[in-house]
């Protein structure tokens, strides 16, 4: 009996030991699996946040481009002393579906009543809109909105003579644009016979020429957009197969889907969708972004499951090994000690791994914070990945895919230039001035040496003796580099760049510095506006730029208590000037 009891006790003890090993193994495997799962989940959320930020920024950049194009058209039409069909065609010629994806038609709209429709029709026929017919029958009395000039961007015939009064959404946008004096977007609407949804973006046209009519309201420039083609493939290309995107109109209170970009990958229901309100224009659009199962690499997504499976196998092996080695008391104790030591080492390794994962998580959290507050970091990712895709292309991509990739690279490059200029624009007003005496001769000589290294052959830069100025050296360098760079950039390709830098003494301890060129020039009517942010003079559309360079110059000079301006250069070109303080004699 005693031996039997001893055997039973030994069996129970062995069972307890085996059970303890199994429990510890499962516990260790569970902890490791939970840690890896939590880390993967956090990485998924951060990756989703980054992707969401990039997609939202790309969409907003595209919308800004639409708005700028519409504003440019409005300004160009307002600058015509008398708008004709030929001048409208020339102004609207650069607009196309590749530059503004989804745009179906651009048209010029004027208002009329039942009593004035005939006179308006005769006037626009005289201006070249041949065959224009304005019909008010059946629309009721009051104000009508007729398309008198137009250009189709899809190859179809422009809808001249169309009365938009029957489309309440369009009328709402037109009235809002006229009242507010800015760009307005209509709610989406359906056109009978078409499955797609449409909307218009419109801007009022105010006369700037002739001077006697300056500020008078003339009409509207409007673009009609096809919802499913709006913004083109850019958001889908940026999102890739990692997110699903839905673009909706919320102006009516409930979301109305306009366009969707759905990858081939399945949506991950384990992570909630993110809704991003697009602040431009009028906060009537929103993006709904959903993650897919490919948000993280497949190997990383299966890491926690693999750890659980491996941990279970290890636990099973340990249990079998323990059951085998506890057949005798001494041998069992030795094996238990060994197993305990191995388990301790395993726990220590697991703790070391967990600490390393926690440190990595803290680093990634810091990195995510930087990404969330710095526009240049996500943009650098976009540019880097686009360049990597272009570099790894071994002929497997289709020509259409290469065009999309090229568009992404070009758009990202323009956005990078815009961000750099925006940062410079902000720093010009916020950076602490470090004033000292600056030898402008040395400053200009170094700028000229740098510029001539990349300037077209034959470029001539003549520098007269310049004074010593009181100011921040880096900011004054930025002013002169900007003006000299513009003088070179805005010289037509068939003309040799000739730049002259000179100075004249002014009262009150100031010096006037002038940078003259023989470039394309600036119309006199626009010289007071070229220093406004995002303003570009007529004729400069084909030259690269963001419209912030001269605004930066103005900010810097005003912080130096000086003034800046532009005059006509006798013989052609422009003469930019600014005043800066000089040391007291």
For residue 229, the tally of other CB atoms under 10 A from its CB is: 17
Kindly indicate whether the domain formed by 79-229 is annotated with CATH number 3.30.450.350. Answer: yes
pLDDT of residue 577 exceeding 90, the answer is yes
11-24 pLDDT, tens digit each: 566 677 667 767 77
pLDDT of residue 534 exceeding 50, the answer is yes
* Mean pLDDT (whole number) for 154-160: 78
Q: CA separation (Å) from 125 to 82, 108, 128?
A: 13, 14, 5
**Residue 361 pLDDT:** 41
Report the C-alpha gap between 291 and 306 in whole angstroms: 22
Report the C-alpha gap between 285 and 249 in whole angstroms: 5
Give the architecture-level CATH label for domain 436-581: 2-Layer Sandwich (3.30)
Question: Is pTM, for the whole model, over 0.85?
Answer: no
Report the C-alpha gap between 276 and 247 in whole angstroms: 10
Question: Residues 6 or more apart from 261 whose CB is under 8 A from it?
Answer: 233, 235, 236, 239, 244, 245, 246
Report the C-alpha gap between 157 and 150 in whole angstroms: 9
* Strand blocks (E) in 187-333: 189-190, 197-206, 217-226, 243-249, 256-261, 274-278, 285-291
Per the CB < 8 A criterion, the answer to whether 223 and 230 are in contact is: no
**Residue 369 pLDDT:** 35
Per the CB < 8 A criterion, the answer to whether 267 and 291 are in contact is: yes
pLDDT of residue 4 exceeding 50, the answer is no
| 283, burial (CB in 10 Å: exposed 0-12, middle 13-18, buried 19+) | exposed
End-to-end CA distance of the chain: 119
3-state helix, strand, coil in the chain (%, to 5): 50, 20, 30
Confidence of residue 298 (pLDDT cuts 50, 70, 90): very low
pLDDT of residue 268 exceeding 50, the answer is yes
pLDDT of residue 42 exceeding 70, the answer is yes
Report the C-alpha gap between 43 and 562 in whole angstroms: 51
Least confident window among 61-75, 173-187, 541-555: 541-555
Domain parsing of the chain, residue ranges: 2-48+298-369, 79-229, 376-430, 436-581
206-242 pLDDT, tens digit each: 999 888 888 899 999 998 888 777 766 777 777 777 7
């Amino acid at each position: 009996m005693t031996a039997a009891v001893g055997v039973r006790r030994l069996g129970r003890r062995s069972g307890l030991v085996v059970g303890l090993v199994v429990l510890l193994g499962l516990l260790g495997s569970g902890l490791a699996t939970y840690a890896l799962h939590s880390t993967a989940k956090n990485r998924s959320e951060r990756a989703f946040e980054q992707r969401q930020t990039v997609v939202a920024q790309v969409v907003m950049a595209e919308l800004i481009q639409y708005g700028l194009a519409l504003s440019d058209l409005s300004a160009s039409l307002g600058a015509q002393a008398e708008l004709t069909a030929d001048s409208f065609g020339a102004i609207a010629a650069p607009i196309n579906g590749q530059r503004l994806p989804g745009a179906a038609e651009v048209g010029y709209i004027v208002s009329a009543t039942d009593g004035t429709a005939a006179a308006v029709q005769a006037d626009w026929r005289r201006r070249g809109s041949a065959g224009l017919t304005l019909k008010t029958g059946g629309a009721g009395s009051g104000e009508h909105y007729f398309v008198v000039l137009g250009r189709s961007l899809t190859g179809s015939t422009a809808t001249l003579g169309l009365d938009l009064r029957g489309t309440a959404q369009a009328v709402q946008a037109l009235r809002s644009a006229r009242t507010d004096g800015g760009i307005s977007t209509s709610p989406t609407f359906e056109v009978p016979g078409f499955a797609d949804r449409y909307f218009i973006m419109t801007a009022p046209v105010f006369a700037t020429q002739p001077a006697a009519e300056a500020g008078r309201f003339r009409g509207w420039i409007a673009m009609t957009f096809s919802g499913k083609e709006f913004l083109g493939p850019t958001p889908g290309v940026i999102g890739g197969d990692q997110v699903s995107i839905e673009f909706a109109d919320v102006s009516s209170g409930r979301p109305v889907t306009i366009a969707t970009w759905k990858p081939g990958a399945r949506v991950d229901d384990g992570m909630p969708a993110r809704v991003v309100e697009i602040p431009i224009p009028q906060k009537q659009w929103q993006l709904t972004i959903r993650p897919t199962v490919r948000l993280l690499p497949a190997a990383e997504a299966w890491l926690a499951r693999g750890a659980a499976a491996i941990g279970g196998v290890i636990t099973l092996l340990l249990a079998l090994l323990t059951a085998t080695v506890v057949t005798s008391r001494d041998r069992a104790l030795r094996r238990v000690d060994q197993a305990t030591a191995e388990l301790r080492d395993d726990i220590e390794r697991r703790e070391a791994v967990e600490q390393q994962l926690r440190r990595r998580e803290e680093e990634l959290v810091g990195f995510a914070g930087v990404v969330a507050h710095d526009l240049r970091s996500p943009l650098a990712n976009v540019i880097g990945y686009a360049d990597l895709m272009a570099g790894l292309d071994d002929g497997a991509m289709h020509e259409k895919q290469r065009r999309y990739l090229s568009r992404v690279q070009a758009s990202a490059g323009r956005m990078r230039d815009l961000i750099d200029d925006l940062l410079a624009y902000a720093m010009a007003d916020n950076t602490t001035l470090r004033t000292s005496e600056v030898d402008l001769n040395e400053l200009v000589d170094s700028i000229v040496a740098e510029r001539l290294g990349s300037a077209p052959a034959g470029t001539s830069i003549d520098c007269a003796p310049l004074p010593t100025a009181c100011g921040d050296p880096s900011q004054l360098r930025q002013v002169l580099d900007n003006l000299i760079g513009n003088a070179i950039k805005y010289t037509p390709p068939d003309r040799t760049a000739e730049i002259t830098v000179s100075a004249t003494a002014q009262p009150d301890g100031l010096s006037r510095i002038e940078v003259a060129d023989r470039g394309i020039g600036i119309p006199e009517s626009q010289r007071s506006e070229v220093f406004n942010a995002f303003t570009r003079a007529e004729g400069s559309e084909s030259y690269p730029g963001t419209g912030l360079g001269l605004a930066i110059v103005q900010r810097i000079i005003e912080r130096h208590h000086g003034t800046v301006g532009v005059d006509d250069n006798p013989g052609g070109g422009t003469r930019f000037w600014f005043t800066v303080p000089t040391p007291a004699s």
